[in-house]
Structure 1
Amino acid sequence: MSVSYAPVGFGDYHWQVIDEDGRPWFATVSDLEHKEYCGRGAAAALEGLRRAMETARTLRERDGLRFVVAPVPAADGRTVVALDARYALAVFPHVPGRPGRFGQRLSEAERDQVLELLADLHGRTPPETTPPTTLEPAGLSGVHEALGELDGVWSGGPFAEPARELLAEHAATLRARCAECAELTDEVRRRGAPLVGTHGEPHPGNLILGEDGYWLVDWDTVGLAPPERDLSLISADPSELARYTELTGRTPDPAGLALYRLRWSLLDVAEFVEWFRGEHDRSEDTETAWKGFTETLGQLADGASGVAARPGE
């Protein structure tokens, strides 16, 4: 057996594994203390991650969705194995093909291929294990708390004071965008958008182009939500989503697209604020997070929001 570290993605840790029979695998270790979208706290995050991986497995095995890259079960049948109180392991089949890049712009033909996958996914009955999602970005209470503590000193680590100063510079903009998010949330909720099983992050960085079309990886963000949760990452322009409408009969809601693009950026801000207000060191991850923090706040100040904000994927 051979194991080699794969320095890809942001947040989780990955290895390429060749077993004794020469079969390739892809192993992922998740830091449960930094997986808030799966649950607050390591124990809750482990449970949420297991639900997400079981959902992917069901979509692959029950529904026959070829493009779902689901984990293989361990000897006890679980798709996620706890290594200790903080870290958990999942193993996936190696998928041959050309990986996409985060921020990559898809051609019209490529975009339509991804929309076909999403139309198929959204048309399936969500597995019982599918985690729920909320319209409101998680962690915004921490952002509001931080905005109320800009006069003090942040001392959690090397990026604490720079983060406080940067947040103070963009405080008015951030409050305005949070208010805009609340208005959009109310509008989408009033319209009663249907809930479907969504991937959560179907951007090019989570796509692998194989001989038979695209594979979609990283299903830890799977969840029940309006379709715009996925579609907003393909385009903010409903006219570019025409293939989805053709297949499903549903025209994407512009308010929903705007909400989820803004929500993406605010989730980033919430994650970075929590990170830099807490205990941290200077590392490759925190350097990357700092770059993402500055870019996200800059985009929000410019009136933009969306997938270009998330770093490292």
Structure 2
Amino acid sequence: MEDLPAGLPEHELRDGLARYGITGKPVHAPVGFGDHHWTVYDRWFTSVSDLTTKPLSRLRRAMDTAAALGEQLPFVVAPVRSDDGDTVVLLNDRYALSVFPYRAGKAGNFGDPVHEGVAELLTALHRCEPPESTPVAPVEVPGTVALAALLDEPGEWFSRQAREVFVAHADAVRAALAELDRLAGHLPGERVVTHGEPHAGNVIRTPAGLCLVDWDTVGLAPPERDLWFLGGGTGFYALRWAVDDIAGFAAELRAPHEKSRDAELALHYFTETLRSL
């Protein structure tokens, strides 16, 4: 995220870092989309999650799972534990902090071709014993009910431009929802530990080899949940990704929000995803 999170003063971030024994000045890192990030001394990489969009219980289970996976798999960049042994620390009622070791190397960007070595990492991940904390990755898209209702009655949107592009692509969204239901019936019953988002932006090339970061979406699911990034599967998870983005951006852009760089990016991705259906 490029904007600083509203409602998080720096002293609360520093207080959270102190619970890990980290006292250096956090430097904002405008990378990724969804969470907010800072680095400290080029030794630590922090991720601050907004609990209005990411439930705390799910986040804790994901980070505990990543920590356990890091003990089995060397390519997992797992969260470190606070002085109290927690992988997630509350900063206030809205934000939660996780801390990771900083990995020097070169990361790709979302949309870049996935490094060929990622297939080997995913094979090892899918074969590992699931930690007890591993959450189940839902098959259904949480926002589809609200999304379907918008197709019948779009109502008023805070972003007029977002409403216009949504209405213009309503038929494509209806078709996508119907196809998603059809494809869901063809998913295999196998469930393995999946990363959830092993795209190029979450892969770092380091001198020691490839690393996978950003484990908040880890969950038990068919292997296709990861493998579609490599061009495999029935197409269900590729379409699910698009529908999930549309539902999330629609909710964000309908609600009152400040004009900001992140809001501009949300509108851009919303528009591009609708056009891709």
TM-score, with length taken from structure 1: 0.79
Are 2:115 and 1:79 equivalent residues in the alignment? no
In structure 2, what is the equivalent of residue 117 of structure 1?
Answer: 121
* Aligned pairs (5 A) from 1:32-111: 32-35=51-54, 45-61=55-71, 63=72, 65-106=73-114, 110-111=115-116
In structure 2, what is the equivalent of residue 284 of structure 1?
Answer: 261
The letter for the 1-side match of 2:272 is E
In structure 2, what is the equivalent of residue 4 of structure 1?
Answer: 27
In structure 2, what is the equivalent of residue 148 of structure 1?
Answer: 152
Are 2:195 and 1:218 equivalent residues in the alignment? no
In structure 2, what is the equivalent of residue 42 of structure 1?
Answer: none
In structure 1, what is the equivalent of residue 166 of structure 2?
Answer: 167
SS of corresponding position for 2:44: strand
Residues 118-157 of structure 1 show CA distances to partners (whole Å, capped at 9, x for unaligned) of 000000111111111222222111101111213x433xx3
In structure 1, what is the equivalent of residue 247 of structure 2?
Answer: 270
In structure 2, what is the equivalent of residue 259 of structure 1?
Answer: 236
* Contact 1:202/1:234, CA 8 A, preserved across alignment: no
TM-score, with length taken from structure 2: 0.88
Shift of 1:6: 0.7
Distance in 2 of aligned mates of 1:290 and 1:66? 37
* Contact 2:156/2:254, CA 8 A, preserved across alignment: no
Shift of 1:263: 0.4
Counterpart selection for 1:199 from 195, 199, 212 = 195
Residues 45-78 of structure 1 show CA distances to partners (whole Å, capped at 9, x for unaligned) of 11111100000000112x2x00100111001100
Distance in 2 of aligned mates of 1:49 and 1:82? 11
Shift of 1:34: 2.4
Residues 155-177 of structure 1 show CA distances to partners (whole Å, capped at 9, x for unaligned) of xx3x1x22222111111111011
In structure 2, what is the equivalent of residue 187 of structure 1?
Answer: 186
Distance in 2 of aligned mates of 1:84 and 1:153? 32
Larger mean CA deviation between 2-11 and 202-211 belongs to 2-11
Shift of 1:3: 2.4
Are 2:276 and 1:299 equivalent residues in the alignment? yes
Gap runs ≥5 in structure 1: 36-44, 237-253, 301-313
Residues 151-209 of structure 1 show CA distances to partners (whole Å, capped at 9, x for unaligned) of x433xx3x1x2222211111111101110010000122xxx431000000000000000
Paired residues, what number? 254
The letter for the 2-side match of 1:117 is L
SS of corresponding position for 2:134: coil
Distance in 2 of aligned mates of 1:58 and 1:225? 18
Runs of 4+ in 1 over 6 A off after TM superposition: none
Distance in 2 of aligned mates of 1:279 and 1:33? 14
More helix by share: 1
* Contact 1:146/1:273, CA 8 A, preserved across alignment: no
Distance in 2 of aligned mates of 1:2 and 1:165? 43
